[in-house]
Amino acid sequence: MTEFNQDTHILRNFFLHIPLFRSLGGAPTEMEELIRSSEMRMVRRGEFLFRRGDASDRIYIVHSGEIGIYQGEKLIALQRRGSICGEVSLLSGSGHSSSARAMFDCSVVVIPGESFVRLIESVPSVGRELIRILSERFRGTLDAPADLHPGRICSVSYPEQEERSGRMVFSLALAVREEGQRVVILTLNESSPLIFEKDRNLIEQLQGPESGRSSDLPVILNLEPLLVDGQEEQLRLNLHDLLSGLRRTFDLVLVDLANRPSPAAQAMLDDADESLVFYRKERPAASAGRAIRETNADRRQKPGELPVFQGWRLDPVVNGATRRLARQLLQSSRGLCLGGGGARALAHAGCLDVFEQEGLEFDAVSGSSMGAVIGALYALQLPAKEIRKLIGRYLFHSDAILDKRLPFVSFFGGHRLADLLRSVFRGIRIEDMPLPFFCNAADLKSGQMVMFDSGWLDFALRCTVSLPGIYPPVEWNGRTLVDGSVMNNLPGEILRQNGLSHVVGINVSPVADPLSARTGVNRREGLKGVYRFVNLPPILKIVNRSISVANRELLKFRLNDFDFLLNPDVGSFDLFDFHRQREILHAGYEEANRQLNGLREALRLPAGEQRNGTARGSG
């Protein structure tokens, strides 16, 4: 901490306006003694007032800014202007039970412990007020939510055309509103259309009580007229207080910045949790913030791009890409994990159909085995109808992916499967896909799981579908890779590790599986049953079922990876029943519809959220 210039007038005025010391207006001697013993200090963002276990010999009162109280890494309280910190440890004579860290640049009043205790003894009204404050704080902890989530701050600039940043901010704010979250826009950009008189009047009209759309529009605050020349440090503190207050009310604070440097703009950049810099032609320097290229709205999204451009004088379109960015800023991104199960994994496509109809969007995908194949199609942002069409074209029967060989390593050679994957996914690299995508494989040599998050997509999928006994392992970089389901058939933890806040899993490994347990010919099928017994011998299903049973037991220990788990009823389908795809798709469709309300609750979505039920292949 660095000392901040004391000002007796500021301290006296501050003390008289906070409840703890208000009664000192009638005790001038004690007030003067308090002022003499107190000092004002500046605490920089991220700096600690004290840490858990530190000795306590003083108290702190927040003059401006915001102090976070932490138990370990968990934020448990926010102390703002007039709040007192460290008093319980001082009065109990123990070390601090928590840590206090500045959320912004702050100013605090530091009062030595001896002076504070003498004041309580000499002015009983101060002691009574302290008891009231402590009682209210204790009662507040009983009613407090389990997790404290103050709103986040994001600055936005568009150096190539300053006017454009205001339009971008407004579209982002609308996307946040579509997610059911609260957002406020601060503009420090005199070129922004948000502060032009005619545009501001239009916004005020739309937000008026007579407008049915008022709840859909963000709040806009123009700070330009308020930032008159003055003391730079005081300006920063005032802005910190403003942001602290806004974070209590709003889930996201979007700041529209001009490209010209100013003390106010620098203060906003310093306080922002994330800074976005948009461009169309020349990529800005990495130090400026997270660079995002605005591309035409009809283009498919690539990493680092936002396909929302309709024209310089038109607002960016609000589409799936805009909403995904909004969820990233809100730290509420959603991941989808699809488990393997052979033909049963086609049920995933039925679930995707419901998600699309209901406007449920996901921001990253992981999968294992055949679930990874369906997940890859979704990560390419193909509409559900197109996914079903591809399934019908390429996976119409098990013969499409099974080519017999001498069963020394596996029963089937895997050449048809590899050809199919190349036909669908040729030339696509995982790192270039519209959505982040992950699939796993198991290395027989090391016994470790291998996760693919880059490289050629068709190769990664060939590795993750190498079911032992059915397809041969893939030799790669000194590894011998088999199906990812051998180690984890539902790899949701990779989504958590990559920052996804909510993860939904779809499990297609049934609890009971009498078909896989059958060891003889199905006599009811006659010659067809004999043919299936010879061409798809029970050993294949027995091996796969054994892996599946082990994975279901392991899944019990991985349930914390998921906010919600769907289990389509696929127990009546065989591992190789690709010819029954219509029935399997329907099983997924039925499960997703049945669990829709629970899924919405787990994702914290408003009931009945739907965006016209339109497919979003380009979003």
- Active-site annotation, residues: 369, 483
**Alpha-carbon gap, residue 392 to 62, rounded angstroms:** 65
Query: How crowded is the C-beta side of 400, counted as CA atoms within 13 Å?
Result: 16
Radius of gyration (C-alpha) of the chain in whole angstroms? 30
Judge whether 384 and 350 are in contact, CB under 8 Å.
no
What is the amino acid identity at position 121? E
Q: What is the sign of the dihedral through the CA atoms of 195, 197, 198 and 202?
A: positive
Q: Which two tokens stand for residue 120?
A: 């309580």
Look at residues 477, 494, 484, 387 and name the one whose alpha carbon lies nearest to residue 438: 494
Q: Which residues pair with 172 in a beta bridge?
A: none
**Which residue from 276, 266, 326 is spatially nearest to 304, judged by alpha carbons?**
276
Under DSSP, the state recorded for 229 is S
E strand or H helix that includes residue 479: strand 479-483
Contacts of 616 (CB under 8 A, 6+ apart): 319, 320, 356, 361, 381, 383
Residues constituting the chain: 619
**457: number of Cβ within 10 Å:** 28
Q: From CA 382, how far away is CA 349, in angstroms rounded?
A: 11
Number of Cβ within a 10 Å radius of residue 564: 16
Among 63, 288, 244, 65, smallest CA distance to 155 is for 288
DSSP string, 36-101: HH-EEEEE-TT-EEE-TT----EEEEEEES-EEEEETTEEEEEE-TT-EESHHHHHHT---SSEEE
Pairing, β 364-367 against β 437-443: parallel
β 58-64/67-71 pair status: unpaired
Integer Cα distance of 14 and 60 in angstroms: 13
CB 347 within 8 A of CB 591: yes
Query: Could you tell me the two tokens for 141?
Result: 């902890």
| Alpha-carbon gap, residue 59 to 84, rounded angstroms | 7
- Sign of the Cα torsion 528, 532, 538, 544 reads negative
Instruction: Please tell me the distance from the alpha carbon of residue 400 to that of residue 417, in angstroms, as a whole number.
Output: 7
CA 403 – CA 391 distance, rounded (Å): 19
Q: What is the C-alpha to C-alpha distance for residues 520 and 276, in angstroms, rounded to an integer?
A: 63
Q: Buried (b) or exposed (e) across 117-144, using 16+ Cβ within 10 A?
A: eebbeebeebeebbeebeeebeeeeeee
